[in-house]
């Protein structure tokens, strides 16, 4: 860990100058307490750095939570080993792609599953309690539940160091969460302009605790975080069903889950740190409180990790959420080719398309180095290697 200043601590050994400068600016905000913590996967973000942990007193910065509210990971350990799996991994990939809408703007056509409707009902009840209508942001939000999205979101079948098979996925609150976030970022910016608040970056506009705008944001933020959590659970139910059919030759619809982890890495919670109750925004970071299970994915084609938090108080009980980009998407497309991606993926089953070139492992930090930097934050319990990869364009 490097102490950049009294208000900025850094765990990243790979850190470019622009990212460092962005973090320094965020750390100057007057309500940061006690300091901002940069995680090993830190990289440039909108307003605030991705891979940063931002504790605030009496205020929240909507852009510091991010636009994919509640984005995170879910993993399930199956009772199967690699030796139990059929050879035709392509058939499983295609069946998952048919069961779960992929890509931005892809939604379910209708609600057909009871467990999907149960989750929608829970979200309707929660929204009613919070006094708002999610349909005002996205009329089709119920059809977004159980959908993946694009970019670095994925579904994977992986194996651990004992050849036990895991199901692994990454997604968030989809279009409805994005629109909620964008709305409140604009509200914060409007208020800053209205009250002549000078900001080092317009995306650091904040909402003040005790105001109606703050209360509304927190309620809708919590709803979107719950949507993201249930979205992952909904997708996992569908992945479990397709995997069970595949591995059993059509004789089973489910199996006993040996272990299950579902965690956010773009979210805010009220937590106590250094003697005060703060709003802790993890923008690309997971809860690594002592004994808390977490998930840290590598990039497409590399290792992922199942971890347990060490509860490092200086790091605000947090750890990295993934590898962290070193190339922007446009830079990756200029630098790498579809052939490069094929070579990187090796024998992993995936949809071979140039659309995924910007997700090539070389566009990200070395996940092994990220995990080495996180040695005092988490303990690695399982290291996963990918067998099947599913992504949206």
CB atoms near residue 222 (< 10 Å): 17
Asked if residue 307 lies in contact with residue 296, where contact means CB atoms within 8 angstroms, the answer is yes
Strand pairing report for 154-159 and 164-171: antiparallel
Of 68, 152, 103, the C-alpha closest to 365 is 152
> What are the helix and strand counts (H, E) for the chain?
10, 17
Please say whether the dihedral angle defined by the alpha carbons of residues 286, 289, 295 and 296, taken in this order, is positive or negative. Answer: positive
Told to judge if 382 belongs to the known catalytic residues of this protein, a careful annotator would answer: no
Strand pairing report for 36-43 and 8-10: parallel
336 DSSP assignment: -
Query: How far apart, in whole angstroms, are the C-alpha atoms of residue 266 and residue 246?
Result: 33
CB atoms near residue 282 (< 10 Å): 31
With residues binned 3-state (H G I as helix, E B as strand, rest as coil), the percentages for the chain, rounded to 5, are: 35, 25, 35
Phi and psi torsions of 141, nearest 5°: -55, -35
Give the pair of three-digit tokens for residue 116: 């999907």
Which residue reads 């959908």 in tokens?
Answer: 147
Give the pair of three-digit tokens for residue 372: 């080495």
CB atoms near residue 278 (< 10 Å): 22
Given the residues 35, 153, 184, 321, the one annotated as active site: 321
Residues involved in catalysis: 321
């Amino acid at each position: 860990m490097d102490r950049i200043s009294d208000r900025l601590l850094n765990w990243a050994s790979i850190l470019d100058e622009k990212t460092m400068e962005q973090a320094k600016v965020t750390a100057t905000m007057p309500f940061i307490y006690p300091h901002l913590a940069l995680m090993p996967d830190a990289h440039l973000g909108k307003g605030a750095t991705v891979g940063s942990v931002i504790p605030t007193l009496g205020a929240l910065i909507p852009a510091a939570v991010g636009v994919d509210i509640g984005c995170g990971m879910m993993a399930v350990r199956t009772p199967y080993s690699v030796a139990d799996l059929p050879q035709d991994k392509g058939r499983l990939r295609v069946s998952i792609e048919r069961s779960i809408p992929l890509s931005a703007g892809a939604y379910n056509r209708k609600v057909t599953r009871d467990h999907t409707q149960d989750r929608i009902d829970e979200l309707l009840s929660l929204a009613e309690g919070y006094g708002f209508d999610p349909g005002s942001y996205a009329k089709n939000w119920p059809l977004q539940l159980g959908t993946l999205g694009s970019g670095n979101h994925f579904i994977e079948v992986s194996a651990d160091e004992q050849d036990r098979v895991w199901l692994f996925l990454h997604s968030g609150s989809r279009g409805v969460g994005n629109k909620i976030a964008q709305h409140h970022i604009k509200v914060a910016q409007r208020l800053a302009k209205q009250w002549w608040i000078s900001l080092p970056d317009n995306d650091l506009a904040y909402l003040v605790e005790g105001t109606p705008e703050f209360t509304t944001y927190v309620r809708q933020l919590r709803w979107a975080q719950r949507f993201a959590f249930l979205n992952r659970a909904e997708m996992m139910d569908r992945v479990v069903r397709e995997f069970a059919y595949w591995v059993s030759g059509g004789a089973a619809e489910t199996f006993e889950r040996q272990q299950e982890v579902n965690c956010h890495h773009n979210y805010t919670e009220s937590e106590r740190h250094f003697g005060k109750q703060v709003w802790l925004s993890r923008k690309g970071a997971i809860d690594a409180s002592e004994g808390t299970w977490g998930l840290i994915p590598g990039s497409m084609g590399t290792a992922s990790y199942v971890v347990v938090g060490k509860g490092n108080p200086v790091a605000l009980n947090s750890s990295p959420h993934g590898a962290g980009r070193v190339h922007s998407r446009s830079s990756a497309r200029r630098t790498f080719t579809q052939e490069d991606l094929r070579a990187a993926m090796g024998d992993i089953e995936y949809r071979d398309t140039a659309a995924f070139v910007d997700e090539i492992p070389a566009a990200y930090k070395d996940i092994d180095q990220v995990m080495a930097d996180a040695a005092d934050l988490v303990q690695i319990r399982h290291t996963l290697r990918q067998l099947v990869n599913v992504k949206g364009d």
